[in-house]
Amino acid sequence: MMVDAGAAARTPETRPGDGPATPRPPVPADVLTLAVDCGGGGIKAAVLDSAGTAHAAPVRVPTPYPLPPRLLLDTVADIADRLPTAHRVTLGMPGMIRHGVVVHTPHYITRSGPRSRVLPELAEAWASFDVRGALARRLGVPAMVLNDAEVHGAGVVAGSGVELVLTLGTGLGSALFDGGRLAPHLEWSHAPVRRGATYDQYVGEPERRRLGDGLWSRRVAATIDGLRPVFRWDRLYLGGGNSRRITPTALDRLGDDVVVVPNSAALVGGARAWDLPLA
């Protein structure tokens, strides 16, 4: 089924064995967030208030390649100039991001985008790059940088129980929340699923185009069935640009604990990520 990105309640719940979640201080309604969703094919941004309401139409540009860190910062700054002035910025990008620092990013180290040749000089430039610090200095506002699926999840999770977010796009993104707390990020989508193919390759965009939506949807359903005993989620959210391509037959097979959410959550989550409870 489809739910609105803002429909879920966001009051964290204490579960048996957990300590109470520590919410951040309330944010005044007039605080505006520049939410930036960086993907393999495009970079999209909007300015939203603390309720997640956009104050102008989103701006989207193609992701430029080759993409060293400075060019990403220039691109975000150019987009920011076309939108209302914001008080803070949230950036979601693919890969392993820890405390705003890049551990690994799969697309931006390549010559011309996903599945093209890796350029060693770009891999070196991105390794241990402090995106959060550089972005805050460039825009002159506080910055938060997370994995793009984590930002997407911040826009939809209810803050109760174990909630898994999967984003279907160029590859497969994921984020895990427990009682509204964001768990450490795992790039398990790079693990092999069969015959040496990773989850990214198994259900990513190239395979959807090759197989067609019907056969690809069966792969997505099989992947979810395989993950269910691993995560034992209370709710699974499917987002990303390709979630809407899952066939009704495959959706019916997934069960009531699996919800398809709109791709707009990637921007709504930019505002709501600042309200996630502290660990």
Cis amide bond preceding 66, omega within 30: yes
Residue 70 burial class via C-beta count within 10 angstroms: exposed 0-12, middle 13-18, buried 19 and up: exposed
Element (H, E) at 54: none
| pLDDT value, residue 196 | 83
Count of beta carbons in the 10 Å neighbourhood of residue 74 = 13
Q: Three-state DSSP class for 184?
A: coil
DSSP designation for 20: P
Q: Look at residues 197, 200, 94, 207 and name the one whose alpha carbon lies nearest to residue 152.
A: 94
| pLDDT value, residue 195 | 83
pLDDT in tens, 207-247: 999 999 999 999 999 999 999 999 999 999 999 999 999 99
Contact 3, 259 (CB under 8 A): yes
| pLDDT value, residue 242 | 95
| pLDDT value, residue 2 | 39
Which amino acid is it at 200?
A: D
Residue owning tokens 């197989």: 211
| pLDDT value, residue 7 | 39
What angle do helix axes 69-81 and 131-139 make, rounded to 10 degrees? 40
| pLDDT value, residue 15 | 35
Which parts of the chain register pLDDT below 50?
A: 1-22
